Chain A
């Protein structure tokens, strides 16, 4: 019986593990391996030497504290917004939700420009003197990642039974005490998951650190980029990649600890969002602050996209089906958008399929401590891609997937696969708390009524995960739309995605191209918001109809 359980688990995990092995372990170890081989000989000393450099320590320290602080900011701003957007009812709620997800997909290069238009010396917020400071970096990172917290925690919060909180209030707990003693413990798994994902995104963020830090700050990621693409110092790059892997592993172990709760069974039932009351003022205020933080750069973008040659115009948008001033592009923005959408569809189903399988395996209750450890290790392994440099991964693809049977670097699916790997951890993180919270007895009940494992999954788990699944799909889609790091290494020139095209446009002289880049960013943002809106809508409509 036990053997069969493990066998089933292994069977389910096999597919995702294989994908991970080919598209992550192989390329990354290929790149790191290059760092250990000097002049055809295996040599560890070079790597060790790099690890001892003061510069390495400085870079690592900056990465850890800036990412840590940005994570805390994202959580502090994201929690109240998650509550307001997922527990309260007010007009335009879904629209606001969708808007808050937009930053997540905007290419960093554009956001960097938008932020600098805002906080730069001559911008409306220039008096704050933030340009080129760590504060700007952290604000930028928070801008990008607050959506992760809102989304992941919001989904968990939405399906949280309100009655324990009421019971606590009826026992005399103040709202703050209720949150601390009842709501927070119930949200903790989701919150820790979201925070660890945010930390990884922040720690591997590349553009934000460079653009907003005015080149004065180096993170592990920017350092790897510099070492690999400019200096070709593969030893040092390998050393830092290893450092990244170690740090990520440590983080995941820690997160696993923090996530563990005495009894993961959480009564799930979607509470009716209730009207706004006076005591929500604090949360509302913080949500507005978040909204302002998110809206300001976007607004700057929108306004910028509507200006050309010193006047208000739609010319930038009309240009989008052209290839830019002086043929700046190989394909017009409109076809890049189509490519982006098609890629995102692929990346989404891949991420959902793989993520779903992993989530199912990870969330089943274990019969022995060893089995539990195995499951949680499996859970952690799929988070690794988030913590590893896109540069390492991108170059790794090129040098390892170049011969049969893995001659894949020419495959049109490489880009969606890479994006799915980035989205995968988030999908898993959204699904696992929900699946783990499902009462095992329901599955047993289904089994006792003659349902096979598949059928039991369809009757018990599916209705439960239906909404989180949609949330995950929206997220995966958004990640894919906005992914730039790995994509920039892998895209095929005749089929660039929208972020790539925006990046190309913004690098060309001429205010027309700059305006087009802004307009294209707005289109990307709008496309994302639209997708998220539709998904959200679909999600609420069809709840529980399976």
Chain B
């Protein structure tokens, strides 16, 4: 189990990571989610032992690793762009750590790893001849070769295009689960985090602002900024929030998601798909903007008493701007901000 305590890192005196406390139980995948420049990569590098700590500690199973050099930590770090060794073939890249340790049965293991990441027969190629996705697979295989006790993933998929990213994220999740790997991943992409991770830590300006089981964090973002970062389209406040909450309570009186007994001046995070065009809906408004996507029609609706809201409509309905519509609310796509 990885435990970070009060961990702080500075660059030239500017703090990059401040007082981070994190725990990661064995076999779980923790995603650190944050915008670029928030210090998440620095956090990862300091766990790997590549950045000196200003204060705090990194411990594994209760043993302090703060003064242990990178190569003795038993972790593996996968870089954003893979950082394959260009002068070595794919097989030699994958077998790199095994060769360092003179592990017997090296070739068989390399084969096994290559097939695990779906690259059978790629062993003799040079990294320069691979596509971006293939390179990342090789990098992953290379990291897994020695069965690290902790795998560190630095934006492993962000250099790839969207479709590939989704596929590879699913593959990554499958491989990590199959191999029972404990992993710490940093990313700025919440979809990626949701696909791959069990736990989530949200980082901003060098601090962890929220952490927990991934569904928990999702359902109860700690503040508006976090909610927006988690993919919520808007955060409603004051009367607007109250109207929507009432609506939610009316429609789903036994909602577990939101309790009316929470904070009176509630802030409510809503996803785009929380509001849906529904002839029986009770919120009334007029369409401001409408755009068709392959799956649904995206609307901006000016709702009475609330103001502008994002909403969706099925593809067979296509209300134009100015048309009146009724909206219903899907409670599971809303979250009360700042409370649980």
The listed residue (A163, A177, A277, A279) touching B83 by CB distance below 8 A is: A163
Which of A168, A175, A186, A266 gathers most chain B CB within 10 Å? A168
| Known A166-B70, A263-B127: A171·B97 in contact at CB below 8 Å | yes
Q: Is B96 an interface residue (CB 8 A)?
A: yes
A169's nearest neighbour on chain B, judged by CB, is: B70
User: Do the beta carbons of A171 and B142 come within 8 Å of each other?
Assistant: yes
Residues from chain B with a CB closer than 8 A to the CB of A173 are 71, 96-97, 100
* A262-B87, A279-B69 given; A170·B146 CB < 8 A: no
* B95-132 interface (Cβ within 8 A of A): 96-97, 100-101, 126-128
Query: Which residues of chain A have C-beta atoms less than 8 A from B101's C-beta?
Result: 172
Q: Is B143 in contact with chain A by the CB < 8 A criterion?
A: yes
B86 adjacent to chain A (CB < 8 Å): yes
Partner of A167, one of B74, B83, B126: B83
Any A CB within 8 A of the CB of B152: yes
Contacts of B96 in A (CB 8 A): 168, 171, 173, 181
Instruction: Provide the bound-state CA to CA distance between A384 and B320, in Å.
Output: 79
Q: Which residue of chain B has the shortest Cβ distance to A165 in the bound complex?
A: B83
**Are A263 and B128 in contact (CB-based, < 8 A)?**
yes
Asked if residues A163 and B87 are in contact (CB atoms below 8 Å), the reply is no
Size class of the contact patch on chain A: 20 to 34
Shortest CB distance B258–A (Å):
43
Which one of A166, A172, A186, A279 has the highest number of Cβ atoms from chain B below 10 Å of its Cβ? Answer: A172
Q: Which of B75, B79, B83, B146 has the most CB of A within 10 A?
A: B83
Residue A15 is within 8 A (CB to CB) of chain B in the complex: no
**Which B19-53 residues sit within 8 Å CB-CB of chain A?**
45, 48-50, 52
Q: Which residue of B lies closest to A178 (CB)?
A: B71
Could you tell me the distance between the alpha carbons of A263 and B85 in the complex, rounded to whole angstroms? 10
In Å, the complex CA distance between A177 and B72 comes to 13
Q: Quick check: is A381 within 8 A (CB to CB) of the other chain?
A: no
Q: Once the chains bind, are B86 and A171 in contact (CB under 8 Å)? A: no
Indicate if A444 sits at the interface (CB-CB under 8 A): no
Closest to A170 in B: B77
Bound together, the chains give a CA A434 to CA B44 distance in angstroms of: 31
Interface contact A164-B85, CB-CB below 8 Å: yes
Q: In the complex, which of the residues B75, B126, B145 contacts A170, with contact meaning CB atoms closer than 8 Å?
A: B75
Is the C-beta of A18 less than 8 angstroms from some C-beta in chain B? Answer: no
Which residues on the B side are within 8 Å of A163 (C-beta)?
A: 79, 83
Report B-chain residues with C-beta under 8 Å of the C-beta of A169: 49-50, 69-71
Residues of chain A contacted by B143 (CB below 8 angstroms): 171
What is the number of residues of chain B that contact chain A, defined by CB distance less than 8 Å? 31
**A166 neighbours in B (Cβ, 8 Å):** 45, 48, 50, 70, 77, 79, 83
A133 sits at the interface (CB 8 A): no
In the assembled complex, the CB of A248 is this many whole angstroms from the nearest CB of chain B, namely 28
Please give me the residue from chain A that is nearest to B81 by CB atom.
A163
Query: In the complex the two chains form, is A172's CB within 8 Å of B97's CB?
Result: yes
Measured CB to CB, the nearest residue on chain B to A171 is B97
A170 touches B50 (CB 8 A): yes
Q: Does A261 interact with chain B (Cβ within 8 Å)?
A: yes
- Complex CA–CA separation, A177 to B98 (angstroms): 12
Which of chain A's residues has its CB closest to B146's CB? A172
Instruction: Tell me if A453 counts as interface (CB < 8 A to partner B).
Output: no
Give which listed residue, A182, A186, A265, A279, contacts B128 with CB less than 8 A: A265
**Residues of chain A from 261 to 281 with CB closer than 8 A to chain B in the complex:** 261-263, 265-266, 277, 279
| A185 sits at the interface (CB 8 A) | yes
B76: interface (CB < 8 Å): yes
With contact pairs A166-B77, A170-B50, A170-B76 given, residues A261 and B71 touching in the complex (Cβ less than 8 Å): no
Instruction: Annotate B60-97 by CB proximity to A: 1 below 8 A, 0 otherwise.
Output: 00000000011110111101000101111000000011
How far apart sit A169 and B45, CA to CA, in the bound complex (Å)? 12
Distance A265 CA – B128 CA, assembled complex (angstroms): 9
Q: Tell yes or no: A540 within 8 A of B by CB.
A: no
Query: Are the CB atoms of B86 and A181 closer together than 8 Å?
Result: no
Contact B74 A172 (CB under 8 A): yes
10 A-B pairs with the lowest CB-CB distances in the bound complex, closest first = A170-B77, A169-B70, A167-B83, A171-B97, A263-B86, A185-B87, A169-B71, A163-B83, A263-B128, A172-B71
The residues of A with any CB-CB pair to B shorter than 8 Å are 163-164, 166-175, 177-178, 181-182, 185-186, 261-263, 265-266, 277, 279
Chosen A-B contacts, 9 in total, with CB atoms closer than 8 Å, are A166-B45, A168-B85, A170-B71, A170-B75, A181-B96, A185-B85, A261-B87, A266-B86, A277-B52
For the A-B complex with A163-B79, A171-B142 known, give 14 more contacts whose Cβ atoms are closer than 8 Å. Answer: A166-B45, A167-B83, A167-B85, A169-B69, A170-B50, A170-B71, A170-B76, A170-B152, A171-B71, A171-B146, A172-B71, A173-B97, A174-B100, A262-B126
